Structure 1
């Protein structure tokens, strides 16, 4: 068997991505992926509760509000920066419309997802997808904020 000069690519342990269908079980799948990504890292346990909540909200928004065909997939990407252990979550969908914070009343049963992201993330925003249609909504979570 011939050998090759180039080694097999090694996955970056500080990044992970997954494609999810637009269905009601995808927020749970995104949380499970995040859990398996974060727990091997030293700061993973501190980032996990806030990370699970925010990835659930962002994936749910992509499922409920993206005006795209149901067969389009959602890309979820996680990245852990070593200095100062900041978790970045990105949720990509094929809808170009940016999300907006809504004013909700105490009796509203929905509509608080982005408010939670706004309150619990260190930073968050929305960007157009490079080389493609749609957008991605991202947030950063730091251990100091997650532990509070």
Structure 2
């Protein structure tokens, strides 16, 4: 009987470069969906993951003071304990801030990092290696997503 190759496991990390365009948050959501689809836990992590990656990429587009030709890098990593790590890198060193207190109902901005803070089990901001820019990261646990 001929041997059959078992399918190779899905990679547990993926990066994508996103242009500084208003369509990039949607592209990041699609990339995250493609990344998580092969994993059994993917369906559980996807709702919070899509919202968070959309917010982080949108924040980079709206607030990073960088030349138009600079890209945004998104990185996804799924750890063995089913924790999803999302990173969004840009070339601006300015750290994001969470707006304290409620945002006026008529305001179209100001809720993004509050949502990240509420949906992620951890999040933060670090300088990029080499000193150019920063990345905002978060962890989404399967346990928290199931709750």
Once residues 55 and 17 of structure 1 are traced to their aligned partners in structure 2, the CA distance between those partners, rounded to angstroms, is: 13
Count how many residue pairs are aligned between Structure 1 and Structure 2: 138
What's the counterpart of residue 87 of structure 1? 84
| Residue 106 (structure 1) shift | 2.9
Counterpart CA distance in 1 for 2:72 and 2:56 is 10
Moved over 3 A (4+): none
Can you list the C-alpha shifts for 1:26-61, whole angstroms capped at 9, x where unaligned?
000000000000010110000001000000000000
Give the alignment partner of residue 69 of structure 1, picking from 67, 70, 79. Answer: 67
Pair 26,144 (structure 1): closer, same or farther in 2 beyond 3 Å: same
Q: TM-score, normalised by structure 1?
A: 0.89
Q: Secondary structure at 1:125's aligned position in 2?
A: strand
- Give the RMSD, CA atoms, in angstroms: 1.6
Which sections of structure 1, spanning at least 5 residues, go unmatched? 1-9
Q: 2:120: which partner in 1?
A: 121
Q: Which runs of 5+ in 2 are unaligned?
A: 1-7
The separation in 1 between residues aligned to 2:133 and 2:10, in whole angstroms, is: 26
Following TM superposition, by how much is the alpha carbon of 1:11 offset from its aligned partner in structure 2, in angstroms? 9.9
> Pairwise mapping of residues 9-24 of structure 1 onto structure 2 (< 5 A)?
13-24=11-22
Q: Which residue of 2 aligns with 1:30?
A: 28
Q: How many Å apart are 1:131 and its aligned residue?
A: 1.9
